Amino acid sequence: MKTKETPCLVIVGSIGIDTIETPREKQIEILGGSVSYACAAASFFTKTGMVGIVGNDFPAEYRALWEQMGIDLAGLQTEEGKTFRWSGVYEENMDNRRTLLTELNVFEHFMPELPDSYRSAPYLFLGNIAPALQLHVLEQMTEPKFILIDTMDLWINIAREKLIEVIGKCNMLTLNESEARLLTNTHSLMEAAKLLLSWGPQFVLIKKGASGSMLFSRDNLFLLHAFPLADFKDPTGAGDTFAGGLMGALAESNNTDEPAIRRAMLYGSVTAAFGVEEFSLARLARLDRAQIDARAEQLKSMCTIS
Amino acid sequence: MKTKETPCLVIVGSIGIDTIETPREKQIEILGGSVSYACAAASFFTKTGMVGIVGNDFPAEYRALWEQMGIDLAGLQTEEGKTFRWSGVYEENMDNRRTLLTELNVFEHFMPELPDSYRSAPYLFLGNIAPALQLHVLEQMTEPKFILIDTMDLWINIAREKLIEVIGKCNMLTLNESEARLLTNTHSLMEAAKLLLSWGPQFVLIKKGASGSMLFSRDNLFLLHAFPLADFKDPTGAGDTFAGGLMGALAESNNTDEPAIRRAMLYGSVTAAFGVEEFSLARLARLDRAQIDARAEQLKSMCTIS
């Protein structure tokens, strides 16, 4: 069911059918992809429009799940062919994962075209796809207020110049520690962040997985812990869930100053902590806002020095 | 110069002459040891008495440095023989270090006897020595108000039962992530902390190096980031500096409830962050309280969500 209503947040990224093996469990052909995790997380906070591509083999139940979460699918393309497939295995400590298989399929020729209803959305999250496609999406937006961009080592290695060009047009860049070091060729995260800020964005958000995240701006640094979990099942998509929840909460607050971003990070972080408790979107699908709010209060109190 | 005044905090631990090599620099025969770092850090906050042993080869300048920092040396034994020697090398990323040499020397027969002036001190930090010696120190105290115990993998492996006995008599246990897992045979830090609390202490403080620290109690969890540094020279003794600063600040506050411990951790953390900026006690020797307070305020604001 498509809608003409303008979403408050537009997210572009990959949609995959994943096969994931952890030391304790293997799940086959489950719903994954950066835009799937990010839109699911954002949907708790704001009206979110998805931009992505699937093949005509894409299970109707996965589409129904997104619709049930209130995600606007007007920007979802369905093409002849197979949906992107990804398969990976986590090592014993869950810290490292190896990719076993990547089949681009319809994703190989993805050209993201935004429906008219999306173009005036104020918030935009350019999830992890080729920098040229991120730029193409950005250029279709008429009045973006705040743009977050994510990336990965692949693009840093093969499309560095284009990536830096797009980063310069965004308000905030998110990447993990090793990507920050790779992109800047700098070991110190403090030095890396300073260089990244010099390329244009007002904020650089460095993700450190279970060790939390760091928000750098010209004058400030904010340090946030991850919500501590006794156990979790699958960390796949945690970074996308974090970023999606963050952008959803930011859009909901309709405020983009640093205190607002700190609060939005808190929401993104706890949403991600729910997400990893189960595979795919299983935990997010039965999560409600009150649970998120309660965990956000808990995390805040765990970080408070009186 | 010995004093009859009762220190507010007594600390026992090792005193070593260290030779340390990092990827960029090597320093030979410098002042080290857990009680040296811990007393130096505590000295910014409270009157601190040292319990340790050196040989008659111990350089007068090192003793003079401790005195200059106001550390009470009534509990320092000087014996015939050589001072404990330790030598280690840090790998490229500074995350791992290898021990090249350990010469116990006079430390091998260390039997810590407390001067009368120390026995009624309210705060006690049992630094990393054999659990039987930690117990021997503890038993000489007449009215300890708050006891912190540290340990290491060696004692977990060779003196586990005695260690658990001493832990049961302390208010707080500090150890690093891998030691917590080793001692409890549990991978999850949350589960490990729960088990450690069941052995008696009201607080378990898990040190995570540059990733910060976690304070567990029966009902609460507090998460503290390390003060972020663009660069540092030598992480040796950081955990002892952290714990010493923490106990010093706690003694100064004369309060042992959880909010007081959270604040004391903040002070310990920033003191440790100064310490690693140079080798040995070089940075701490020219540090002043105003610098510590300023950095504590900075770190607090870096962790604040409004």
- A91 near B CB under 8 A: no
Considering only the beta carbons, identify the residue of B225, B231, B305 that sits closest to A300.
B305
Considering only the beta carbons, identify the residue of B220, B225, B305 that sits closest to A262.
B305
More confident residue, A306 or A71: A71
Whole-prediction pTM: 0.92
Contact residues, chain B, for A190 at CB < 8 Å: 228-230
Residue B5 has what pLDDT?
A: 87
| Residues A228, B221: C-beta atoms closer than 8 Å | yes
* Interface with B, mutate which of A215, A223, A246 (most B CBs under 10 A): A223
Residue A2 has what pLDDT?
A: 47
Residue A92 has what pLDDT?
A: 84
Structure tokens at B202: 């009201």
- B305 near A CB under 8 A: yes
Residue B96 has what pLDDT?
A: 86
Does A3 score more than 80 pLDDT?
no
| Per-residue pLDDT tens digits for A168-223 | 999 999 999 999 999 999 988 999 999 999 999 999 999 998 889 999 999 999 99
Class of residue B229 by CB neighbours under 10 A (exposed 0-12, middle 13-18, buried 19+): middle
Least confident of A88-97, A126-135, B196-205: A88-97
Average pLDDT of span A113-120: 97
Residue of B nearest to A217 (CA): B302
- A214 near B CB under 8 A: yes
- B211 near A CB under 8 A: yes
- Do the beta carbons of residue B247 and residue B38 sit within 8 Å? yes
| Residues A191, B229: C-beta atoms closer than 8 Å | no
pLDDT level of residue A225 (50, 70, 90 thresholds): very high
Does residue A137 sit in helix, strand or coil? helix
Contact residues, chain A, for B231 at CB < 8 Å: 188
| Per-residue pLDDT tens digits for A145-174 | 999 999 999 999 999 999 999 999 999 999
Considering only the beta carbons, identify the residue of A190, A231, A305 that sits closest to B188.
A231
| Per-residue pLDDT tens digits for A260-301 | 999 999 999 999 999 999 999 999 999 999 999 999 999 999
Closest CA to A295 of A237, A239, A240, A225: A225
Does B2 score more than 70 pLDDT?
no
Considering only the beta carbons, identify the residue of B93, B230, B304 that sits closest to A191.
B230
Average pLDDT, chain A: 96
CA atoms of B192 and B156, how far apart (whole Å): 14
pLDDT level of residue B40 (50, 70, 90 thresholds): very high
Does B8 score more than 70 pLDDT?
yes
- B120 near A CB under 8 A: no
Considering only the beta carbons, identify the residue of B208, B228, B304 that sits closest to A190.
B228
Average pLDDT of span B26-33: 97
Average pLDDT of span B149-175: 97
Structure tokens at A129: 């796809």
Give Cα separations from A238 to A102, A244, B4, B55, B233 (angstroms). Answer: 19, 10, 58, 54, 34
CA atoms of A122 and A124, how far apart (whole Å): 7
- A158 near B CB under 8 A: no
Residue of A nearest to B303 (CA): A223
Average pLDDT, chain B: 96
Does B127 score more than 80 pLDDT?
yes
Structure tokens at A250: 């930011």
Within 10 A of B280 (CB to CB), how many other CB atoms are there? Answer: 24
CA atoms of B192 and B186, how far apart (whole Å): 6
Contact residues, chain A, for B211 at CB < 8 Å: 208, 211-212
Contact residues, chain A, for B230 at CB < 8 Å: 188, 190-191
Place of tokens 């090249």: B100
Sheet holding A172-176, edge to edge: A72-79, A48-55, A9-12, A123-126, A146-150, A172-176, A203-207, A213-216, A221-224
Does A50 score more than 60 pLDDT?
yes
| Residues B303, A222: C-beta atoms closer than 8 Å | yes
| Residues A223, B303: C-beta atoms closer than 8 Å | yes
Contact residues, chain A, for B302 at CB < 8 Å: 220-223
- Do the beta carbons of residue B127 and residue B11 sit within 8 Å? yes
- Please, which residues 227-266 of chain B have a Cβ atom closer than 8 Å to chain A? 228-231, 259, 262-263, 266
CA atoms of A247 and B212, how far apart (whole Å): 27
- DSSP assigned state of B176: E
Residue of B nearest to A301 (CA): B222
CA atoms of A184 and B184, how far apart (whole Å): 40
Class of residue A285 by CB neighbours under 10 A (exposed 0-12, middle 13-18, buried 19+): middle
Considering only the beta carbons, identify the residue of B189, B228, B262 that sits closest to A305.
B262
Assembly ipTM: 0.88
Give A176 to chain B, closest Cα distance, Å. Answer: 15
Residue of B nearest to A216 (CA): B302
- B178 near A CB under 8 A: no
Average pLDDT of span B2-24: 91
Average pLDDT of span B113-135: 97
| Residues A300, B303: C-beta atoms closer than 8 Å | no
Contact residues, chain A, for B259 at CB < 8 Å: 305-306
Using a pLDDT cut of 90, give the percent of chain A over it.
Answer: 93
Closest CA to A302 of B190, B182, B108, B130: B190
Does residue A71 sit in helix, strand or coil? coil
| Residues B303, A305: C-beta atoms closer than 8 Å | yes
φ and ψ at residue B176, rounded to 5 degrees: -90, 175
Residue of B nearest to A228 (CA): B190
Closest CA to B38 of B245, B257, B262: B245
